[in-house]
Structure 1
């Protein structure tokens, strides 16, 4: 089932925070992750879909049905919260079956459905336990099973992994994605974790100050951001200010580099985005866009080292990463420099 936002605006009373004419669609079975700085409107969007906030302008539709005025319990939406929100007095099985009890399903049917979902999430042996006996990752799997048990028309994930240890987060992230695809659930994920969004989503939407800046595939959001705000928020980068000198050349003040200038004309001011993995250390003599300098602070991250590289005259150090820091020079291939409007 599709989930549609058409010119959705909402403002909290006495505040400028909210949403401003947000429009996008989530296709049947698609997972869209919404990211953005604190106060950007991520959680507000989720609450409006769930019916936890009302009084918005525009249209929110699920499978073509306008959600305005539809009570929370009649929306057919499954939700997984950051804090699990499980019932401490119920067993694992009864937590999963809770939504089915509200739908007046027989006890035998509820238990059968709960057993089926617990098998799917790998918790069959824990059905009779209290939820307090489970780890955080196990509790979140119970919450996911409960949300899926009702065959939801849409699934809402509100920071589902943020309370978990890093060692658990990666595995459960992949498990949630696999289950979402298995059940074909149309899903809206709200997260502050960019890696989580890029790894799980079919598309990523970036919000800032209540406005939708861009929605695209994870690859396009990272490699082809449509503005400086998206480029700086998603991933790490070095951002330079320059002026187009001629076709295929941009003057950055400290150096003139070869860059695909496309439709930009000589004299236009631009921003240039360079990702750290695209900086080549100690290139061969005569290589295009070679810059002399010296390494600065470095951070060992196991599979790679992230480091600063100072180029004489540059307004800031270049952020680079690789097996070893560059010693005397770096190079950036022209195709790895993305120009954005200044």
Structure 2
């Protein structure tokens, strides 16, 4: 089941916030993660697909069927909410079976299906337990089982892990991805957690101010952002204004670097992008793009330390990573420099 948004626009009454001409597709069995700053339109997109918001321009289609006039309960879409939205008066089994009950599936068949899903998410022994007696991670798995019980045409995940402790998130993230792949579920995931998006998704879509800036595989989004806005939002980096000095040469004002300038003419305004893991501390003499300076503020992260490397004349420090940040020079391999056109 493919999910297609074709030139979708929507504005909340009395506001310019919403979505503006967004087009994307989620292929059958694919997981697409949608990320972006607060107010970028992530939740609006999910509400439009689910039918919780209506009145959009453009087309939303599921396996070729236009959903514009299809009510929520007829879209046959499973949704996992950030707050889980479980029913406290029902036990775990009846929560999972609830959607099947609404579809008038016979009692024994729906309870059998609910038990199968609970076994799949590792909660078979909790079938008779009250949901209030479950941990946050367990409640999230119940919500996922409930969404899958109806054999949905598509699956929508709204910040599914944001309320959980970091120690739980990583394990449950892997579980959700494995179950999604097992069901071959066409899935749209909205999250503010970039690590979650990059590790779970087949492709990542970046929204800002209601517009789609880029959709691509996680590696491409991170290594080859299409614009300065994407580069600023996805991952950590050093982003500095520069001009092309000559073919293969970049003028930063305080230094000149070797860089892949492509077909850009001399004088073209660009921004240099370099990720912290690509900066080399104390490279040997003769290495390209050696810059003297000093290590500044440090942030200990366990296996490595992230630190600011201050270069005289630079408008801001270079963000670098190292196991022992005591560098007096840094080197920036030209192949790891990305140029973004202004």
Q: TM-score of the superposition, structure 2-length normalised? A: 0.99
Give the Cα–Cα distance (whole angstroms) in 2 for the partners of residues 277 and 104 of structure 1: 55
Bigger drift between 317-326 and 166-175 goes to 317-326
Q: 2:133 matched to which residue of 1?
A: 133
Other-structure match for 2:189: 189
Name the structure 2 match of 1:336: 336
The aligned residue for residue 239 of structure 1 is 239
1:268-323: CA deviation from partner (whole Å, max 9, x where unpaired): 01101010000000110121000000000101111110000001111110000121
Structure 2: distance between partners of 1:257 and 1:220 = 24
**Structure 2 CA distance for aligned equivalents of residues 74 and 208 of structure 1:** 31
Q: Which runs of 4+ in 1 moved over 3 A?
A: none
Matches for 1:226-305 after TM superposition, within 5 Å: 226-305=226-305
Q: Which residue of 2 aligns with 1:171?
A: 171
Which runs of structure 2 are paired with 1:119-158 in the superposition (5 Å)? 119-158=119-158
After TM superposition, give the deviation of residue 75 of structure 1 in Å: 0.3
Q: Report the 3-state secondary structure (helix = DSSP H, G, I; strand = E; otherwise coil) of the residue aligned with 1:38.
A: coil
Deviations 1:43-96 (A, max 9, x none): 000000000000000000000000011010000000001100000000100000
2:80 alignment partner in structure 1: 80
State the alpha-carbon separation in 2 of the partners of residues 271 and 21 from structure 1: 27
- TM-superposed CA distance for 1:327, in Å, is 2.1
Look up the SS of the partner of 2:293 in the other structure: strand
CA distance in 1 between counterparts of 2:274 and 2:264 reads 18
Q: Is the 8 A contact 1:4 1:61 kept in 2?
A: yes
- Other structure's SS at 1:73 match: helix
| Distance (Å, rounded) in 2 between the aligned partners of 1:322 and 1:25 | 39
Residues 101 and 110 in structure 1, CA contact (< 8 A), matched pair in contact too = yes
2-structure distance, mates of 1:305, 1:298: 7
- Distance between the aligned counterparts of 1:107 and 1:6, measured in 2? 40
5+ residue gaps in structure 2? none
Q: How many residues align?
A: 342
Q: Which segments of 5 or more consecutive residues in structure 1 lack a partner in the other structure?
A: none
Match in the other structure for 1:307 = 307
Measure the CA separation in 2 of the matches of 1:83 and 1:303: 34
Contact between 1:8 and 1:21, CA under 8 Å: does it hold in 2?
A: yes
Q: Distance in 2 between matches of 1:322 and 1:112?
A: 53
* Partner Cα separation in structure 2 for residue 27 and residue 327 of structure 1: 47
Distance verdict in 2 for CA 1:143–1:160, change over 3 Å? same
Cα drift, residue 140 of structure 1:
0.1
**1:95 and 2:95 matched:** yes
CA shift, 1:337, in A, is 0.5
Q: Distance in 1 between matches of 2:147 and 2:165?
A: 22
CA contact (8 A) 1:309 1:326 kept: no
Cα distance, 1:267 vs. partner? Answer: 1.0
How far residue 326 of structure 1 moved from its aligned partner, in angstroms, is 3.9
**In 1: Cα distance, 2:206 partner to 2:249 partner:** 31
- Partner SS, residue 207 of structure 1: strand
